[in-house]
Chain A
Amino acid sequence: MNFLARFGAYALSGCLPVALVLSTDGPPRTGPGGHFSPAGFPNLLLRSHEGKEVRFYDDLLKGKVVVLHFFYTRCDGVCPQTVENLLEVQRILGERVGRDVFLHSISLKPDEDPPERLAAYAKEVGAGPGWLFLTGEVDVVERLRRGLGFVDPDPEVDKDKSQHVGMVLFGNEARQSWVACPGGSSPALMAEQILWMVPEPEERAGGGGPTDPDRTPILPGGKTK
């Protein structure tokens, strides 16, 4: 599909390409919260529902096609529908989830959603391998939420977690190509657009992936060498 046709499909589906706005005010910095990636992503520390400590950039984004959204386990607004749709996306993508595509659900209420609760939630909803539910320090999650733009323009609404932004962001970190769409979008369309982000075999083999020297090329049919 060429660019124009793809853009038209975005428009029809309610999804929008989003642009990363990078500042040019100096080199990446290192600090207690973790360093910034070359693309400007913070390398903040999170913890997965599997109990593992992960870095936002190094472990979750770097060189990957990712689907990312914010939620919390007790949400009875947008989250259940979004998670339900992502489950359908997971079903459509099958084994590609965890291999070509990675899903990241970050809790907006880390105090309510420790790893054990996220683990129980992941089991309850039926999330499979390649889908991480994440929590962290309150300020870290807030920094991520704001930095990634999951912010309501009305400050009062933005304070109310029950009215949180229900978008799903997906993209290819190596290409710096990103799309956002409502969590209630068609799972089939989401899956289709997510797959557009997955690099072609020749790109994986060294054409466009600048970030992961250890990445094993994936041959047609999903086999690795």
Chain B
Amino acid sequence: MKPDSRRYLWAAAALAAAAPFAGAQTTSSQQPPTLTQISLVPPSVAAAADFEPGGMPEALAYDGTHVWVARQFANSVAKIHATNGSISGTFPVGNRPLALAYDGSHVWVANFGDDNVQRLQTSDGAVVSTVPVAGGPGSLAFGGGILWVASRGNNSVTKIQASTSAVLGTFPVGRRPIGMAIAGNDLWVANNNDDTVTRLRASDGVTLGTVGVGKGPIGVAYDGTRVWVSNFFSNTVTKIQASTGATLATYSVGDSPVGVVYDGQRIRVANSGSQTVMRLRVNDGVVLSTVQTGKGPFGLLWTGSAIWAANTGGDSVSTSAF
């Protein structure tokens, strides 16, 4: 023990005698979901468990045929057929897969606990390359042949040539970068602990600006002209002019918004606390519809025809596909 620690040492004996106590896990009531829910846990396992199994998936990606789901506490990714919902396979990856991205031919996964990203074959989930990325990689974005990786622990983003897995550079951003979106020639990064977003020039990683948003920014999406940021602790989304960085508006959404995605016409937001997905009109932020999901929707995905949400409160996804 360091000498400093002795300054506040408690009578440890009184505390150390504790024995673990078994107990039932607390659960809360849920409203019936509107979206179809697909469990990622085999029925036999789910039936045997005395509490909700906890893959706690956060991230989704779409390869054109299948939706991929990263099950962070199962250290695996699941592959679901996007039109019939059947699970085509579950493949082992690294420790705590937190993010996914599809690069046009392969799926990338960020393994937060292993400090690396892996490139997977879509056919069988085989790992074709593993690239070390320091600092707890937890967010991915792909565009223009480049995979961007945000590392929460060392406040940086790393640029990787997807086709070759070559690391092209690492660039500083704000504290706890946690969400990213590519907007034209720029990369926007949500700095969760700074309540800001950083705009980087994708070509060379130069910071072009930093914009203040709400509390706990976490998700980022681009609608073609504007960047949308979900603010977890403010229960809002912020709309920013991508070309100038000017804040255009802030709209109230549900409880604890996380994932945000543009569906070609509207912005959709996953409210992890409300267990809903909202559809917002882009020009004025009016909520056009709200649908119920599973517990704790986190990552959102738009396949072109359906919305998918990863339910991090359990081990399932919710979808409008069928």
A209 within 8 A of B: no
Query: Looking at the complex, which one of A47, A80, A152 makes contact with B23 (CB distance below 8 Å)?
Result: A80
Q: Are A147 and B8 neighbours in the complex by a CB distance under 8 Å? A: yes
Interface string of A76-115 (1 = CB under 8 A from B): 1111111110010000000000000000000000011001
Once bound together, how far apart are the Cα atoms of A39 and B283, in whole Å?
A: 56
B193 within 8 A of A: yes
Q: Are A41 and B113 neighbours in the complex by a CB distance under 8 Å? A: no
Q: Are A116 and B256 neighbours in the complex by a CB distance under 8 Å? A: yes
Interface on chain B toward A: helix, strand, loop, or mixed SS?
A: loop
| Residues of A contacting B25 in the complex (Cβ-Cβ under 8 angstroms) | 76, 80
| Residues of A contacting B3 in the complex (Cβ-Cβ under 8 angstroms) | 25
Binds B, one of A176-184, A200-208, A214-222: A176-184
Q: Which of B144-160 contact A (CB under 8 A)?
A: none
Given contacts A80-B24, A111-B136, A149-B15, contact A119 B233 (CB under 8 A): yes
Q: Which of B9-24 contact A (CB under 8 A)?
A: 9-12, 14-16, 18-24
Once bound together, how far apart are the Cα atoms of A167 and B315, in whole Å?
A: 30
A125 within 8 A of B: yes
- A13: min CB distance to chain B, Å: 14
Interface size on A, residues (CB 8 A): 60
Once bound together, how far apart are the Cα atoms of A57 and B3, in whole Å?
A: 19
Interface string of B104-133 (1 = CB under 8 A from A): 000000001100000000000000000000
Given contacts A47-B193, A84-B26, contact A23 B216 (CB under 8 A): no
- B260: min CB distance to chain A, Å: 14
Q: Are B136 and A178 neighbours in the complex by a CB distance under 8 Å? A: no
Name the CB-closest residue of A to B298: A116
A19 within 8 A of B: yes
- B79: min CB distance to chain A, Å: 25
Point out residues on B near A: beta carbons under 8 Å: 1, 3-12, 14-16, 18-26, 28, 51, 54, 73, 96, 112-113, 136, 193, 215-216, 218, 232-233, 255-256, 258, 272-273, 296, 312-313
Q: Are B273 and A23 neighbours in the complex by a CB distance under 8 Å? A: no
Offer 11 A-B interface pairs, CB within 8 angstroms, sorted by A.
A21-B6, A21-B9, A25-B7, A40-B7, A79-B23, A111-B113, A116-B258, A124-B26, A149-B16, A183-B18, A183-B21
Q: Are A18 and B11 neighbours in the complex by a CB distance under 8 Å? A: yes
| Residues of B contacting A40 in the complex (Cβ-Cβ under 8 angstroms) | 7-8
Query: Looking at the complex, which one of B1, B14, B258, B312 makes contact with A146 (CB distance below 8 Å)?
Result: B1
| Residues of B contacting A23 in the complex (Cβ-Cβ under 8 angstroms) | 6-7, 9
- B130: min CB distance to chain A, Å: 20
Q: Are A143 and B18 neighbours in the complex by a CB distance under 8 Å? A: no
Q: Which of A131-185 contact B (CB under 8 A)?
A: 143, 146-153, 163-167, 169, 178, 180, 182-184
Query: Looking at the complex, which one of B15, B24, B296, B312 makes contact with A18 (CB distance below 8 Å)?
Result: B15
Q: Are A165 and B232 neighbours in the complex by a CB distance under 8 Å? A: no
- B290: min CB distance to chain A, Å: 18
Q: Are A147 and B5 neighbours in the complex by a CB distance under 8 Å? A: yes
Residue with the highest number of chain A CB atoms closer than 10 Å, among B10, B22, B272: B10
Once bound together, how far apart are the Cα atoms of A203 and B232, in whole Å?
A: 40
Once bound together, how far apart are the Cα atoms of A20 and B12, in whole Å?
A: 10
| Residues of A contacting B20 in the complex (Cβ-Cβ under 8 angstroms) | 77-78, 163-164, 166
| Residues of A contacting B136 in the complex (Cβ-Cβ under 8 angstroms) | 111
Once bound together, how far apart are the Cα atoms of A74 and B96, in whole Å?
A: 14
Once bound together, how far apart are the Cα atoms of A25 and B9, in whole Å?
A: 13
| Residues of A contacting B24 in the complex (Cβ-Cβ under 8 angstroms) | 80
Q: Which of A1-33 contact B (CB under 8 A)?
A: 16, 18-23, 25, 28-29, 31
- B114: min CB distance to chain A, Å: 12
| Residues of B contacting A184 in the complex (Cβ-Cβ under 8 angstroms) | 21, 23
Query: Looking at the complex, which one of B23, B73, B218 makes contact with A78 (CB distance below 8 Å)?
Result: B23
Once bound together, how far apart are the Cα atoms of A150 and B21, in whole Å?
A: 15
Once bound together, how far apart are the Cα atoms of A125 and B25, in whole Å?
A: 10
A63 within 8 A of B: no
- B69: min CB distance to chain A, Å: 18
| Residues of A contacting B312 in the complex (Cβ-Cβ under 8 angstroms) | 120
Query: Looking at the complex, which one of B8, B19, B51, B313 makes contact with A120 (CB distance below 8 Å)?
Result: B313
